[in-house]
Amino acid sequence: VQAPMTAFVIILEMTGNHDNVIALMLASMLGYGTARMISHEPLYHALSRVFIAEAIRRRRAEAGPGSAQG
């Protein structure tokens, strides 16, 4: 997941500790930058693309070679 501000706000609200705001923001942005360097596509986008392609492949296989596609 590549949403650093969302992660920052959630962690801040869960901990209730406002003493480490700067460190938390820095860690969030560092994680975001690292994730973008590893993969330009967000994780859930890549997973959904693979899932949809597999679902289409299965549907076509179940329909058989002679049936109408639509």
User: How many structural domains is the chain composed of?
Assistant: 2
Amino acid at position 68, single letter: A
Q: Are residues 50 and 26 in the same domain?
A: no
pLDDT bin (cut points 50, 70, 90) of residue 13 is confident
Alpha-carbon distance of 70 to 50, in angstroms, equals 20
Higher pLDDT, 10 or 56: 56
Q: Are residues 67 and 55 in the same domain?
A: yes
pLDDT bin (cut points 50, 70, 90) of residue 68 is low
Q: Are residues 46 and 30 in the same domain?
A: no
Alpha-carbon distance of 50 to 65, in angstroms, equals 23
Q: Are residues 57 and 31 in the same domain?
A: no
* 5's tokens: 């501000």
Lowest-pLDDT range, 1-5, 25-29, 61-65?
1-5
Query: Domain range holding 21?
Result: 1-38
Q: What is the percent of the chain with per-residue pLDDT over 90, rounded to a whole number?
A: 23
Cβ neighbours of 63 (radius 10 Å): 12
